[in-house]
Amino acid sequence: MDEFYGGGVYEEENFEFPLFKLVREKAEELDISYHDALVLVKPDYVRSCRYGDEEFEQKSIDEFEEISKQTMANWEAFMKEREGK
């Protein structure tokens, strides 16, 4: 049982959102609120998100649609099995 006491049976990594890290650092640097820091750092972060890159977006969506098709196929097989019981 010891492994359940802090042994990492279930442990999420200590994660910090990259955007919030920027916010926190800016707020500490300028001694301003997180809200005001967000207003300062967000525009650059937005620019790094490839908004408007239609080719990239379409590729990402196509990849997801493939997953969705497989998911639906799996579901139909599951329901068929349920109906057979």
Partner 1 sequence: MITKPNAQDVKVYECDFLVVGGGDAGCSAAIKAAEEGVKTIILEKANAARSGHSGMGMDHVMDFPREGVSYLDYVKFFMGRHELLGGPGALMNPNVGYILGAKSWWALDHMNKWGYPMRWEDTDDYHWVRNGWFGKKIMIGVHWLDVKPVMAKKCKEVGVEILNRTMMVDLLTDKNGKVCGATGFNVRTGEFCIVKAKAVMVSTCNLTRNYTSETPMHWKYKMRYHGHPGSVSGDGFNACYKVGAGLCNLDLATNWNYRIRDDITIPFGSIDHGDGIRGQWMNAKGEAIPFPTAKMYDEIEKAGLDPIYCTIEHFNDVYQKRNEICIADERFVSLYLGAQRGFNPKTHRYELMENRRFGYYGLSGVYTDENFKTDVEGLYCGGDTVLGLGGCGSACISGIIVGDQMKEYCATAPEPEIDMNHVQDVIDEVYAPLYEEDGTEPMEMESSIRYINDRYVGMHISEGKLKEGLLRLGSLGKHFMPHLMAKTPHDLMRCIEVRNIYDGSILHFKACMERKESRGNFLRNDYPERNPENDNHISVCRLVDGKDTIELMRAPELKPEYLEEGK
> Which parts of this chain interact with partner 1 (CB under 8 A)?
12-21, 23-24, 34-35, 38-39, 42-43, 45-52, 56-57, 60-61, 64, 67-68, 70-72, 74-75, 78-79, 82
> Closest CB to partner 1 among 3 and 16?
16
We find the least distance from the C-beta atom of residue 42 to partner 1, in angstroms, to be: 6
> Which among 14, 36, 11 has a CA at the least distance from the CA of 26?
36
How many other CB atoms are there within 10 angstroms of residue 23's CB atom?
Answer: 22
We find the least distance from the C-beta atom of residue 78 to partner 1, in angstroms, to be: 8
> Which among 52, 54, 46 has a CA at the least distance from the CA of 18?
46
- The amino acid sitting at 56 is F
